[in-house]
Chain A
Amino acid sequence: MLEIVDLKKSYVDPDGNRISIIDMPRLCISEGEQVVLRGESGGGKTTLLHLISGIVGADSGSIKLDGMELTKFSETGRDRIRAAKMGYVFQTFNLLPAFTALENVKLGMTFARKKMNLERAKELIERVGLSDRMHYLPSQMSVGQQQRVAVARALANKPRLLLADEPTANVDPSNQDRIIELIQEVCREDNVAILMVTHSDEISSRFRRVERLELLNRPKAAP
């Protein structure tokens, strides 16, 4: 479902040196597979998620999603694919403060150029256990509730792949389990693959497949 081959990404540091951050020979994720990605801070985990989602372009290499070569698409094309086929849960909750829980979920559908499905948005809110908070603004919800809305929003367009960047980093321990459980359960039901970045051993232990970026990646100073 997701196939990465010889993916490379480098940055130019303030001193003008080119720093290679991603140099990944191969990474494959099957349909509905749930994978955890671990690694050092600053090791390129978030960059990898940005590359897969098309938020940033790769220097070279291939990223295939359902057989589609994402690196061949323009930025607008990648935006479209991201909206239609991927969900994204951020480390911080990143709900839009002007919109209610339900509207934040609907927002996920707005940019996918699909017909707005209000029933699905409501159903997702119910599935994350917030049917009584549907019309609450983010500022009126707890941190855990906000992250549950973020999960619902990421799944709004029935994505093929959910990218989650330390989704419980800012959530208290009692809520961590519930959120991870929720993500895994909903994705399992909808057959959505997960690539989740985390530092937590406890979260990692919930996943069958755990990858370490250091082993997948072989970054070095670019020539």
Chain B
Amino acid sequence: MNLFSIAVRNLLYRKLPTALTILSMALGVALVVVVLTISGVVEKTFERTSNVGYNLIVGAKGSSIQLTFNTVFFLSRPVENVKYSYYMEYLPGNGRQQEIARIGGVVDEPERDGKYSKYMRGGFAIPLCMGDYVGPFRCVGTTPDYFNELRHGEDLPYAFTQGRNFVDYSDEHGYFEAVIGSQVAAEMKLGIGSEIFASHGAAGGVAHDEAFHVVGILAPTGTPNDRGAFVNIEGFFLLAGHVAPDRDEQSGIEKPGTAVAPERESVLSKVRLPIEKREVTAILIKPSGMNAIQLERQVNKTLFAQAVSPISEINGLLGFFVKPIKWALLALTSMVCVVSAISILVSIYNSMSERKRDIAVMRALGASRDHITYIILIESILIALIGGGIGWVAGHAVGPIANPWTELATGVRIHFLDIQSWQEGLIIPGLIVIGILAGLIPSMSAYRTPVAQSL
């Protein structure tokens, strides 16, 4: 028999108060673990999303957060469009000339390289057209490069659970192929060969007549792309209302009757919308080497376009909103732990009066004041640790239980032993400190128990 087993027996003897105190500590620690897990998942989701495989988003002048939200998270409304010819300025090498040759149309100085092509060596520029919906999900017009060049998560290429990436033109569907995210497929019950119709302007808006054929379903990525319907930009441009009108150069006012798509015999026609009639919502840019900052600076000097770094915007968002909320929640849940610590203190302290005689007997049997102090401290530390252990297990069990929802919403799968945050490492030493603090007053009371009067 030692001090530890004496403390254990004392706790077992007072089963109900001990169990209730353990429960309150377990609740406090479980809440802390759940908050850490949730905030860890949120941060992980942001990190996964910010690791997009490009450095800059270029779009029309306006709110940088709106541009980021709209482009990366498919939230908020798109900012204004920029001309397709402006997108072509970013194409590396002689990409601009090749694009003019491929698409055709009226372009100034067709023979020169893009203005920003010198920053783009080895990089890429991917256009995005947004503003339409497929059911409740965002419809994104883009090029096949979106899935060929971009990465997600920890530098992972996009994979397809079914089918393939769409192509620029196919003999089967012309320019009207689409790839859909895993959630779009699941919720709208779509598969390979399904037809989807983009609706103009907003979810539930008027649907375009032309259908896109689903040729690929993305494997879940845990990014907003799971909730996107990606259509070939060439087909997107050909939809009614997607043709940019001619504008007065001075005032910028639309010239009536100029937003007209070219004549096409059938959906398989190879006729494309000419460059001057095209606009894009955003351009995803990966410049060569360390040119991102320089390019961002250059673009932001212009009057009509802006370049934003999505990682900076997302980190800013994390720093300004997510982390303070996490700390606020942690502070609240830590208060629960403090309340639990006080309940340990009250429980043990209340037992002191009925244990005075026991303490005096132990003293008479030769226990020193230190022995008694240690026994009380061991009791409070044990309550804190057992309660904390149960709370830790319960807190971690929430993750796997909630996996069907969190995985669908964020793509993050939480395993039982996943430690989402370094702050969890503080729980055990924190519990020991709480146990000692909670046991301090009762142990002082035990220390001072007058033996002769209590026998």
Contact = CB atoms under 8 A, between A and B. Distances in A.
Tell whether A and B belong to one assembly: yes
Interface of A: 47, 50, 53, 55-56, 75-76, 79-80, 82-84, 88, 90, 94-99, 103, 106-112, 116, 153, 157
A84 B452 contact: no
B370 interface: yes
B12 A84 contact: no
Contact of B365 (A76, A103, A107): A107
Which residue of A53, A79, A112 has the most chain B CB atoms within 10 A of its CB atom? Answer: A79
Contacts of A56: 451-452
B348 to A, nearest CB: 14
Q: Ordered nearest first, which 3 A-B pairs have the shortest CB separation? A: A83-B366, A98-B13, A111-B366
Contacts of A108: 365-366
A153 B362 CA distance: 11
Contact of B357 (A50, A94, A109): A94
Which residue of B6, B12, B366 has the most chain A CB atoms within 10 A of its CB atom? Answer: B366
B364 interface: yes
Interface in B196-235: none
A107 B10 contact: no
B361 A94 contact: yes
B1 A55 contact: no
Given A107-B6, A110-B1, 17 more contacts: A47-B452, A55-B364, A55-B455, A79-B368, A82-B365, A82-B366, A84-B366, A88-B364, A90-B455, A96-B358, A97-B358, A108-B365, A108-B366, A111-B362, A111-B371, A112-B366, A157-B366
Nearest to B359: A96
Nearest to A81: B366
B2 interface: yes
A55 B363 contact: yes
A50 B452 contact: yes
Contacts of B10: 98
B9 interface: yes
B361 A90 contact: yes
Which residue of B1, B368, B369 has the most chain A CB atoms within 10 A of its CB atom? Answer: B1
A53 B1 contact: no
B365 A83 contact: yes
A107 B358 contact: no
